[in-house]
């Protein structure tokens, strides 16, 4: 099963969501319209609204409910907030490719990318405020603050590969997991779920979010032929991630010195990046990091099992299996 198969379980909701999302991002300003089209052509898994929908349905929300139910506006705001952060991230990281396509900043320039990211963020605030639910407004505000803190903590740790694993976990919790937890919490609140189910779903989202980011960090070491993405982006940007942190703790001194010398370079060639990736993946620490990912996903599955049994809960359990990767 793939994420797209899980999406099919709530396909009417995803159809309504995409309609509302398209209306939310539409603009008469031609440059915004063109950028919207570019982003829509390369949409990712839209996992965050998907988590909100599954959480809501898991707690009794009718999946046949269509727009203008506020859940679709909230889910659209969630996806727009995510895209806003991606635009800003690409500027900060000086990225030229995302999901196999040129980034907004590489086509229209940094200034335009930042301004459109700000425009998206303003649309998010406008949408959430119009719904008039103080709890949801607070949850989204808190998640946004946490994301910024996570990104800044990651910047603070750039080029440092001896940071504690706990610091790495704090980074991925703030920059990714808190937002996914918020998405699950919001879906449960919209469905008028019990306090217990709201907290269970928020806990599930936190574990899935950490696992999702850890998995993404692991996949960064795989060849482009496997992932469809440039290999070693984090390494090129001198970001400390768990595979590299664990590697430096376990590898022989001569190997550590060799890789450290490469990482000190401002610019790495494709061959040097591949060498670092291959070396890290061949170290004994690699399987232990993959094992940590598996533990997170198994914990998410155990948490989901506390929810009422239905196909939406089962889809959330299945998601925890889909995100696993081989230790080899």
Task: Let me know if residue 260 belongs to a domain.
Answer: no
Contact 21, 108 (CB under 8 A): no
* Residue 313 lies in domain: 3-245+285-322
Task: Let me know if residue 145 belongs to a domain.
Answer: yes
- Give the pLDDT score at 96: 86
Q: Which two tokens stand for residue 305?
A: 């099992």
Residue-wise pLDDT for 181-219, tens only, equals 999 999 999 999 999 999 999 999 999 999 999 999 999
Task: Let me know if residue 255 belongs to a domain.
Answer: no
Contact 118, 85 (CB under 8 A): no
Task: Let me know if residue 270 belongs to a domain.
Answer: no
Rounded Cα distance, 284 and 247, in Å: 8
Average pLDDT of the residues of the chain: 93
The CATH number that applies at residue 303 is: 1.10.600.10
Task: Let me know if residue 266 belongs to a domain.
Answer: no
Task: Let me know if residue 273 belongs to a domain.
Answer: no
As to burial, measured by CB atoms within 10 angstroms (0-12 exposed, 13-18 middle, 19+ buried), residue 15 is: exposed
Task: Let me know if residue 267 belongs to a domain.
Answer: no
- Give the pLDDT score at 328: 57
Task: For residue 64, name the pLDDT band (cuts at 50, 70, 90).
Answer: confident
- CA quadruple 176, 181, 184, 187: dihedral positive or negative? negative
Q: Which two tokens stand for residue 136?
A: 């949801």
Q: The whole model's pTM is what?
A: 0.94
What is the number of structural domains in the chain?
1
pLDDT tops 80 at residue 1? no
Residue-wise pLDDT for 147-190, tens only, equals 999 999 999 999 898 899 999 999 999 999 999 999 999 999 99
Q: Can you tell me the mean pLDDT for 57-73? A: 88
């Amino acid at each position: 099963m793939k994420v797209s198969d899980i999406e099919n379980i709530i396909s009417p909701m995803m159809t309504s969501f995409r309609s509302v999302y398209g209306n939310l991002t539409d603009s008469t300003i031609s440059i915004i319209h063109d950028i919207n089209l570019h982003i829509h052509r390369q949409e990712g898994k839209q996992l965050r609204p998907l988590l909100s929908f599954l959480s809501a349905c898991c707690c009794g929300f009718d999946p046949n409910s269509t727009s203008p139910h506020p859940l679709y506006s909230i889910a659209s705001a969630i996806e727009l907030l995510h895209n806003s952060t991606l635009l800003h991230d690409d500027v900060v990281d000086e990225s030229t490719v995302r999901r196999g396509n040129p980034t907004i900043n590489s086509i229209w320039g940094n200034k335009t990318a930042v301004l459109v990211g700000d425009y998206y963020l303003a649309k998010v605030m406008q949408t959430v405020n119009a719904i008039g639910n103080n709890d949801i407004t607070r949850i989204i505000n808190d998640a946004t603050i946490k994301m910024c803190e996570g990104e800044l903590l990651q910047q603070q740790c750039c080029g440092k590969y001896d940071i504690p694993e706990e610091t790495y976990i704090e980074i991925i919790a703030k920059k990714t997991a808190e937002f996914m937890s918020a998405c699950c919490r919001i879906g449960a609140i919209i469905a008028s779920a019990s306090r217990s189910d709201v907290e269970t779903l928020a806990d599930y989202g936190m574990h899935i979010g950490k696992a999702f980011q850890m998995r993404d960090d692991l996949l960064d070491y795989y060849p482009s032929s496997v992932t469809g993405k440039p290999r070693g982006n984090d390494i090129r940007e001198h970001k400390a991630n768990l595979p590299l942190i664990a590697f430096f703790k376990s590898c022989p001194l001569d190997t550590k010195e060799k890789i450290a010398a490469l990482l000190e370079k401002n610019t790495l060639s494709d061959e040097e990046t591949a060498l670092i990736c291959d070396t890290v993946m061949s170290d004994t620490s690699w399987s232990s990091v993959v094992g940590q990912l598996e533990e997170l996903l198994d914990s998410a599955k155990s948490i989901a099992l506390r929810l009422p049994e239905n196909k939406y809960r089962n889809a959330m359990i299945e998601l925890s299996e889909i995100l696993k990767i081989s230790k080899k």
